[in-house]
Amino acid sequence: MAHEARSAGSLSPSRDATDIRAELDSTSWATVLAPRLAQFAAVARHEHVTRAARELGVPQSTLSRAMVRLELDLGVTLFARQGRTVSLTPAGRGFLASVERALGEVERSAESVRADADPLSGRVAFGFLHTLGPETVPALLRAFRADHPRIRFQLVQNYGEAMLAGLRAGQLDLCLTSPVPDAPDLVVRRLDEQRLRLVVPADHRLASRRRVRLAEASGELFVSLEAGYGLRRITDALCAEAGFTPRVGFEGEEAETLRGLVAAGLGVALLPPPLVPRPGVVELTVTAPRAVREIGVAWLGGHADTAPVAAFKKFLLGRRGQLLPD
């Protein structure tokens, strides 16, 4: 090995393995070894410390000491020294295979995050409610991509609480949700509101009406989204404001499924307007209480945006009052 004579011979640890293991108890192998893995791979590739040091841009003596320290920490001889050159021991060859895989994964991960942050072709992880999927979100993306044609989207449809968990876990950059959350770790901006209608079967006693007070449905069986869904919380709150607790006979996960249940005569529901009219149901305007749901965009506070996320966030905030179709 081409380095100072005191470290050129066979490995002679100055500390025993017990001391080294005690030192590692408070940390991890990854923390200890990671800074030296690329150095080890370079020495193994060149089989020469001087050439490896030149490639890495470090002093030869620094690289030599790093390799000796690596062997000391592992308690394994990785290199056989022959003069100014080195060759891998069997243990060194096995270690190199794992090191190259680890370094390759780091390289791929670095390239991936850099690509996702690219201002022109990066990625936005965007969540939204199921009810916004058929029309609202496609229209938003079409308008945004007119000026940002190469930005990529990872789209996630889910209910509100699951999307907020996705924000906190770093799985989503932004989400459209309702009701608008109130949480100290989230930043929320209200974008629009959507009227909810009382949906009844076509042969229902209220079907001949155009408007209704919600209290008039207090004796009805309701079909609703499952507990935890934002629209379910809104339904429960509006019914409470009207003076009653709804009797829920059927629970589902999607608004159009609930409309189908209403059409089948299985109950009534508070729902946003449909994309297209649904046969078998009548949709009544609720005059009291004011039946709306606020829709807002949320993101995790205290985190810097990548350029694509910042561009899409600015676009969404510019759609205040124009988010939903007329």
Cα–Cα distance measured from residue 118 to residue 151, given in angstroms and rounded to the nearest whole number:
9
* Strand 186-195 with 292-300, pairing: antiparallel
Cα–Cα distance measured from residue 191 to residue 180, given in angstroms and rounded to the nearest whole number:
10
CA angle 36, 41, 43 (to 5 degrees): 95
What is the predicted pLDDT for the residue at 23? 52
pLDDT band with cut points at 50, 70 and 90 for residue 85: confident
CB 54 within 8 A of CB 107: no
pLDDT band with cut points at 50, 70 and 90 for residue 33: confident
pLDDT band with cut points at 50, 70 and 90 for residue 27: low
pLDDT band with cut points at 50, 70 and 90 for residue 19: low
What is the predicted pLDDT for the residue at 14? 45
What is the predicted pLDDT for the residue at 313? 98
Q: What is the pLDDT of residues 233-269, one digit of tens each?
A: 999 999 999 999 999 999 999 999 999 999 999 999 9
Work out the average pLDDT over 44-58: 92
pLDDT band with cut points at 50, 70 and 90 for residue 326: low
> Given a cut of 60, is residue 24 above it in pLDDT?
no
* Mean pLDDT score of the chain: 90
Work out the average pLDDT over 40-66: 92
Residues 6+ apart with CB under 8 A from 288: 213, 214, 215, 242
Ordered DSSP codes for 66-120: HHHHHHHHHTS--EEEETTEEEE-HHHHHHHHHHHHHHHHHHHHHHHHHHHT-TT
Cα–Cα distance measured from residue 212 to residue 199, given in angstroms and rounded to the nearest whole number:
11
Work out the average pLDDT over 86-103: 94
Q: What is the pLDDT of residues 167-192, one digit of tens each?
A: 999 999 999 999 999 999 999 999 99
What is the predicted pLDDT for the residue at 36? 87
Cα–Cα distance measured from residue 282 to residue 280, given in angstroms and rounded to the nearest whole number:
7
Picking from 33-37, 180-184, 257-261, 285-289, which range would have the lowest pLDDT averaged per residue?
33-37
Picking from 27-31, 97-101, 252-256, which range would have the lowest pLDDT averaged per residue?
27-31
Cα–Cα distance measured from residue 266 to residue 154, given in angstroms and rounded to the nearest whole number:
37
Cα–Cα distance measured from residue 222 to residue 240, given in angstroms and rounded to the nearest whole number:
14
What is the predicted pLDDT for the residue at 276? 87
What is the predicted pLDDT for the residue at 34? 80
pLDDT band with cut points at 50, 70 and 90 for residue 3: very low
Picking from 151-155, 281-285, 291-295, 320-324, which range would have the lowest pLDDT averaged per residue?
320-324
* C-alpha dihedral, 273 to 274 to 280 to 283, nearest 10°: 10
Picking from 25-34, 66-75, 84-93, 288-297, which range would have the lowest pLDDT averaged per residue?
25-34
